[in-house]
């Protein structure tokens, strides 16, 4: 939106009045409630839990899902703009909302039974319940199809064994969407509840990226659940992959938000900071950096805007999402690094956001399909030849 950052190609004019008000609301909320506490949480590696019900109250959890599913029924562009503003704050905040909306509420909405929907969606939407998504394992990251977690039918129950690694909100979650392979090799999804016998979690410490976000390991040792805990309307790897498409969509928007925060910070600084005879923004080398950044941001904005409208029309493909996720992560990574350069020594302190964003983007570059995996997805799409094996 015009007054919130560069909008070189007038994308503001393509947004509806509601979408603009939604973006402004998300911006106001993040600036007033989140920015004053981010540095402290980043330093301590904690998440501001008191904001979770507020996010719910505002309707920011799974907001593009219908109201019956705990969402707010807003357009996919509006949903993208919310994540854009959350990530302008910090990737940790956006990651929280992405996991809750795209990786937990979405699969329950799309694949769940009526009973599961009634049990979980209202609380997840309101932010009174927290969810997590367990796909990655210690030995299976880019290749989730190889997963070692097993589910075995026992009468009317299932018994689940295995470990999930790098799970955002793992130890906070009231409900975990966990993917496991059955005896026939078929991937199935389960809703595991905090405190179930044999279901434990422990947090991963020492992260130098996405510090204001909780990341955990989940462990399932003979966890017994009734068949009603299984997501009944999906089987196969397309279950988790369908969720990832939703989450990657939001990430592509989020990356624009943090890139804009870096660019705005660098631009203001370049206009203020004087070296030699004038503000550093008056020198060609700095201008070249700023121009490159604003151009890359504009390209990224156009990608997500068009992607959002395609999604609203029901025409979006997962390959298009891959292109936006892949492009926008690299864009934001470069913009954060160059912004930090422009800030000189000040840029390495917590007083300026680019270095924090830069560190965060390393996670975002890797999760939800690494840059390389999206290259392979697109490579297959354009050549018709799959470069990865299974």
Partner 1 sequence: MKIAVLVKQVPGSESVLPILNDETWVDESLVSFIMNPPDNFAIEEALLIKEKAGEGEVVIVSMGPDRVKKTIKEGLAKGADRAIHLEEDGQIETDPLSISKSFSTVLKEENFDLIFTGLQSDDTGMGQTGVLLGEMLGYSTATLAMETDVQSDSIRVKRELESGWFQWVKLPMPASISIQSGLNTPRYPSLKGIMGAKRKEIKSIPVSEHRVGSKMQTIEKVFIPQTSKQTEMIEGDADSVATRIVEILKTDLKVL
Residues annotated as catalytic are 368
> Counting contacts by CB under 8 A, is residue 22 touching partner 1?
yes
> Counting contacts by CB under 8 A, is residue 98 touching partner 1?
no
Would you say 167 and 367 are in contact if contact means Cβ atoms under 8 Å apart? no
Question: Which residues, in sequence order, are bridge partners of residue 226?
Answer: 157
Q: How far is CA 5 from CA 102, 223, 354, in A?
A: 26, 49, 15
Nearest 5 degrees, angle CA 33-CA 34-CA 40?
A: 125
> Counting contacts by CB under 8 A, is residue 86 touching partner 1?
no
* Contacting residue, 15, 65, 74, 364, with partner 1 by CB under 8 A: 74
Q: Which does 182 bind (CB under 5 to 8 A by kind): partner 1, ligand FAD, none?
A: none
> Counting contacts by CB under 8 A, is residue 29 touching partner 1?
yes
Residue 279 φ/ψ, nearest 5 degrees = -60, 145
Q: Cα Rg for the chain, rounded, in angstroms? A: 21
* Residue 263 CB partners (closer than 8 Å, separation 6+): 5, 6, 290, 293, 294, 297, 335, 339
- For 340, half-sphere exposure in the C-beta direction (CA atoms, 13 angstrom radius) is 17
Selection from 259, 233, 246 nearest residue 353 by Cα: 259
How far apart (Å, rounded) are the C-alpha atoms in residues 190 and 31?
A: 37
Would you say 278 and 308 are in contact if contact means Cβ atoms under 8 Å apart? no
> Counting contacts by CB under 8 A, is residue 73 touching partner 1?
yes
Site string (41-70) toward partner 1, x via CB under 8 A = ----------------xxxx--x---x---
Which CB sits closer to ligand FAD, 334 or 372?
A: 372
Q: Which does 328 bind (CB under 5 to 8 A by kind): partner 1, ligand FAD, none?
A: none
* Contacting residue, 8, 9, 18, 317, with partner 1 by CB under 8 A: 18
Q: Which does 73 bind (CB under 5 to 8 A by kind): partner 1, ligand FAD, none?
A: partner 1
Which CB sits closer to ligand FAD, 193 or 203?
A: 203
CB of 142 to ligand FAD, least distance (A): 3
> Counting contacts by CB under 8 A, is residue 23 touching partner 1?
no
Which CB sits closer to ligand FAD, 77 or 329?
A: 329
CB of 25 to partner 1, least distance (A): 5
Which CB sits closer to partner 1, 4 or 244?
A: 4
Q: Which does 363 bind (CB under 5 to 8 A by kind): partner 1, ligand FAD, none?
A: ligand FAD
Which CB sits closer to ligand FAD, 63 or 149?
A: 149
Q: Which does 29 bind (CB under 5 to 8 A by kind): ligand FAD, partner 1, none?
A: partner 1
Query: For the residues of 157-208, what is the DSSP string, one character each?
Result: EEEEEEEEEEEETTTT-SEEEEEEE-TTS-EEEEEEETT-TTEEEEE----S
Q: Where are the alpha helices (DSSP H) in the chain?
A: 17-29, 35-44, 52-58, 76-89, 91-98, 106-111, 114-126, 238-272, 284-312, 318-342, 354-366, 371-383
Contact positions toward ligand FAD, by CB under 6 A?
99, 133-136, 141-142, 166-168, 210, 215, 363, 366-368, 370, 372-373, 388
Query: For the residues of 284-314, what is the DSSP string, one character each?
Result: HHHHHHHHHHHHHHHHHHHHHHHHHHHHHTT
CB of 100 to partner 1, least distance (A): 14
CB of 272 to ligand FAD, least distance (A): 34
Which residues would be at the binding site for partner 1 (CB under 8 A)?
Answer: 2-3, 17-18, 21-22, 25, 28-29, 57-60, 63, 67, 72-74, 78
């Amino acid at each position: 939106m015009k007054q919130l950052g560069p909008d070189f190609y007038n994308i503001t004019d393509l947004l509806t009045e509601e979408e603009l008000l939604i973006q402004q609301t998300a911006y106001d909320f993040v600036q007033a409630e989140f920015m004053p506490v981010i540095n402290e949480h980043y330093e301590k590696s904690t998440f501001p839990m008191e904001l979770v019900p507020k996010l719910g109250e505002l309707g920011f959890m799974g907001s593009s899902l219908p109201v019956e599913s705990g969402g707010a029924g807003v357009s996919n562009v509006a949903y993208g703009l919310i994540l854009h503003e959350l990530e302008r704050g910090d990737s940790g905040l956006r990651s929280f909302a992405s996991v809750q909306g795209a990786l937990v509420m979405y699969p329950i909405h799309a694949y769940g039974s009526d009973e599961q929907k009634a049990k979980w969606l209202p609380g997840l939407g309101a932010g009174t319940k927290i969810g997590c998504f367990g796909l990655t394992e210690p030995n299976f990251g880019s290749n989730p199809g190889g997963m070692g977690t097993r589910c075995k039918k026992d009468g009317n129950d299932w018994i689940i064994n295995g470990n999930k690694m790098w799970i955002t909100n793992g130890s906070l979650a009231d409900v975990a969407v966990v993917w496991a392979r059955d005896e026939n090799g078929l991937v199935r999804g389960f809703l595991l509840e905090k405190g179930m016998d044999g279901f434990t979690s422990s947090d991963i410490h020492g992260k130098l990226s996405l510090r204001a976000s909780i990341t955990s390991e989940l462990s399932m040792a003979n966890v017994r659940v009734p068949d009603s805990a299984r997501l009944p309307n999906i089987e196969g790897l397309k279950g988790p992959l369908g969720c990832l498409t939703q989450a990657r969509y939001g990430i592509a928007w989020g990356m624009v938000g943090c890139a804009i925060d870096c660019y705005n910070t660098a631009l203001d600084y370049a206009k203020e900071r004087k070296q030699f005879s004038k503000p550093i923004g008056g020198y060609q080398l700095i201008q070249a950096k700023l121009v490159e950044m604003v151009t890359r941001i504009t390209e990224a904005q156009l990608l997500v805007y068009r992607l959002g409208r395609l999604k609203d029309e029901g025409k979006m493909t997962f390959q298009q999402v891959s292109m936006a996720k892949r492009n926008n992560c690299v864009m934001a990574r470069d913009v954060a690094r160059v912004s930090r350069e422009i800030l000189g020594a000040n840029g390495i302190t917590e007083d300026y956001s680019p270095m924090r964003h830069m560190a965060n983007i390393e996670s975002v570059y890797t999760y939800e399909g690494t840059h390389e995996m999206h290259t392979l997805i697109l490579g297959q799409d354009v050549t018709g030849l799959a470069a990865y094996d299974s």
